[in-house]
Structure 1
Amino acid sequence: MGLFNATYRLSEQIDTDVVEGERLARHTSYRIGGPAALYITCHSYHALRRTMEVLLREEVPWVVLGKGSNVLVSDGGYDGAVVTLGREFSRFAFAEDGLTVTAGAGAMLPRLVNEVYTRSLSGLEFAVGIPGTVGGAVSMNAGSATEWIGALVRDVVTYKPGEGIRHYAHDDIAWSYRTTSLPHDEVVLEATIELAPAPKADIRERMERLLTRRRRTQPIGSATCGSIFKNPPDARAGALIEGCGLKGFSVGGAEVSSVHANFIVNKGTARAQDVLEVIRHVHGKVKEAHGIELQTEVKFLGF
């Protein structure tokens, strides 16, 4: 693995910021995670393409990270390159019809939600209060228990390292609960989303109602990665966990939230290993009590 060569070559590139040994705890909502061998921010498509060419040639493993809102990073970090998308990937462009928006993968989802609200466009209300980037939301089909961003996506543009840009229409992608069929070795560049006009007061009322509910039922403001487990068919993971009496269960600085049992909170001193041990304990107790194998929703990096 040519980390030294990759670092040397990438440090000379324009529109590319390269940091060695960057602690990933600074870049995750969990505030947990050891260093990445390389932390690379690409501010343009050409910078991304050149970066990927170098990483492939030097055989450096890589992963794309948005805002780290759905990931648990190992205490030992990641012995490869963490790639993030910068300036050029953070833009919005509205079509002439006024109902369609193309958003860069690096754009913040909360910013997009607010932008379409100001234009009296409905459809993304369910995403209010959901952190992360557009690219991350699309790749995991983020949403609520009943609505998902995939239902609004008209097409997606990705980049496959070594091959180039690829285009996917909505029906080219299998949209499932918290997952899609988009290839894991491709980088989402942008997504085009179709919305509908609606009175701004109606949009605001629904957003406020959903946000109030989230604040009441989720540990907003705490260091978490969102929901830990996917909801199994015909059940709610949080209810199953709570039914096992696991609210408040803790290992080290990691604790099952007293607000919502499907959230594990970093109380300030949690290590990734603490969170893993809580996940394993919860998984085992739910299986023992209900015979259900909970599937994790959180992504793991560096394990």
Structure 2
Amino acid sequence: MSVFNAYMALSGAFEADVLRDERLSHHTTYRIGGPAALMVTAHSYKALLKTIDILRKEGVEWVVMGRGSNILVADEGYDGCVIKLGKEFSRISFEGDTVSAGGGAILSKLVSETISHSLSGLEFCVGIPGTVGGAVSMDAGTRHDWIGSRVHHVVTLRPQGGLQRYEGSDIEWGYRWCSIPTDEIILEATFQLTPAEKRRITDEMERLISRRRSRQPMGKPSCGSVFKNPGDRSVGQLIDSCGLKGYRVGNAEVSTQHANFIVNLGGASASDVIAVMGHVHDAVLEKYSINLQPEVKCLGFDKRRA
């Protein structure tokens, strides 16, 4: 693997920003994480193809990252390349009752623009951080609404396989996952929405965001929900019943507001978060015999940087 060769080959890439040793704490909502050996922001389809081709030839591992809202990066960082989708993949366009958004478009921006077009259907996404691509890949939503139910079709890039199109009805949607292959990059998603009065849409959004603010620690760095709900049980309630609200290692703490959030009180390390996660997991396993599964994705923990 030659990160240096990849960096040199990509440095002159048209419509791409290339960085070495960029700290990922600057690119995650946790504000945690060491440097990525390489970071490329591809602003066009051509630049994305070139990036993937060069990384493949140089044997450099890569991963696509949106706003880093559901990821914990190791303190040692990531010895591969982080790819971010730039300008061409951030566009949002409306046609009748449908809206198309690039995989790199900010979800909150998409939600706000549906108001100006008097289209209902994505209100439940208000307050959910991240990009459209990330939201689709994990079927983001609430206990009662999921973004997959609004998807008309999705366009992806299959490495060495070209563009793929999936009809929303052909995709399997589940709790925090969908059947789109994980090695494909979501380039664009089109949503089918419903005309509605702007006032009704804004009232519903205000109700939902007020509810989130009252129940979740939105003012502190976190990755959102840490563990998946086991079946129809609330993992937050399970953790709370173990008396773990406020449990702390270093500057990582189980939120006193919502027990399924581990917040960064300032300067927390990834190892602090992992230690808290481990303690929470073991406590719930001991009390309820439930093996909690993480919802947060971890990057850079499988091997240390060379």
When normalised by structure 2's length, the TM-score is 0.97
Answer whether contact 1:52 1:162 (CA < 8 A) is retained. Answer: no
Deviation at 1:202, TM superposition (A): 1.0
Deviation at 1:172, TM superposition (A): 2.5
**Which one-letter code corresponds to 1:230 in the other structure?**
K
Distance 1:138 1:208 in 2: 23
**Which one-letter code corresponds to 2:249 in the other structure?**
V
Distance 2:14 2:219 in 1: 37
Distance 2:153 2:14 in 1: 29
Q: Which residue of 1 aligns with 2:123?
A: 125
Q: Which residue of 2 aligns with 1:66?
A: 66
1:207 to 187, 205, 210: 205
**Which one-letter code corresponds to 2:14 in the other structure?**
I
Deviation at 1:160, TM superposition (A): 1.2
Q: Which residue of 2 aligns with 1:76?
A: 76
**Which one-letter code corresponds to 2:213 in the other structure?**
R
Q: Which residue of 1 aligns with 2:54?
A: 54
Aligned length: 301
**Which one-letter code corresponds to 2:70 in the other structure?**
N
Distance 2:202 2:12 in 1: 47
Q: Which residue of 2 aligns with 1:45?
A: 45
Q: Which residue of 2 aligns with 1:14?
A: 14
**Which one-letter code corresponds to 2:21 in the other structure?**
G
Q: Which residue of 1 aligns with 2:304?
A: none
Distance 2:47 2:58 in 1: 17
1:279 to 277, 280, 287: 277
Distance 2:193 2:169 in 1: 17
Distance 1:165 1:50 in 2: 15
Distance 1:222 1:295 in 2: 23
1:259-283: CA deviations, max 9, x gaps?
0000000000210000001001001
Q: Which runs of 5+ in 1 are unaligned?
A: none
Distance 1:120 1:265 in 2: 36
Distance 1:166 1:290 in 2: 43
Distance 1:180 1:23 in 2: 30
**Which one-letter code corresponds to 1:147 in the other structure?**
D
Answer whether contact 1:17 1:40 (CA < 8 A) is retained. Answer: yes
Deviation at 1:34, TM superposition (A): 0.3
Distance 2:64 2:241 in 1: 36
Q: Which residue of 1 aligns with 2:5?
A: 5
Q: Which residue of 1 aligns with 2:188?
A: 190
Distance 1:100 1:130 in 2: 21
Distance 2:182 2:211 in 1: 33
Deviation at 1:16, TM superposition (A): 0.8
1:246-300: CA deviations, max 9, x gaps?
0000001100000000000000021000000100100110111111111111011
**Which one-letter code corresponds to 2:61 in the other structure?**
P
2:240 to 223, 236, 242: 242
Q: Which residue of 1 aligns with 2:157?
A: 159
2:167 to 155, 166, 169: 169
**Which one-letter code corresponds to 1:99 in the other structure?**
D
Deviation at 1:100, TM superposition (A): 0.3
Distance 2:182 2:6 in 1: 22
Distance 1:73 1:287 in 2: 25
Q: Which residue of 2 aligns with 1:90?
A: 90
Distance 1:284 1:252 in 2: 19
Q: Which residue of 1 aligns with 2:262?
A: 264
Deviation at 1:171, TM superposition (A): 2.6
Distance 1:302 1:171 in 2: 35
Q: Which runs of 5+ in 2 are unaligned?
A: 302-306
Distance 1:143 1:134 in 2: 12
Are 2:289 and 1:253 equivalent residues in the alignment? no
Answer whether contact 1:27 1:67 (CA < 8 A) is retained. Answer: yes
Deviation at 1:234, TM superposition (A): 2.0
Deviation at 1:180, TM superposition (A): 0.9
**Which one-letter code corresponds to 2:137 in the other structure?**
S
Distance 1:251 1:58 in 2: 39
Distance 2:183 2:233 in 1: 32
1:94-128: CA deviations, max 9, x gaps?
12xx2101100010000000000111111000000
Q: Which residue of 2 aligns with 1:294?
A: 292
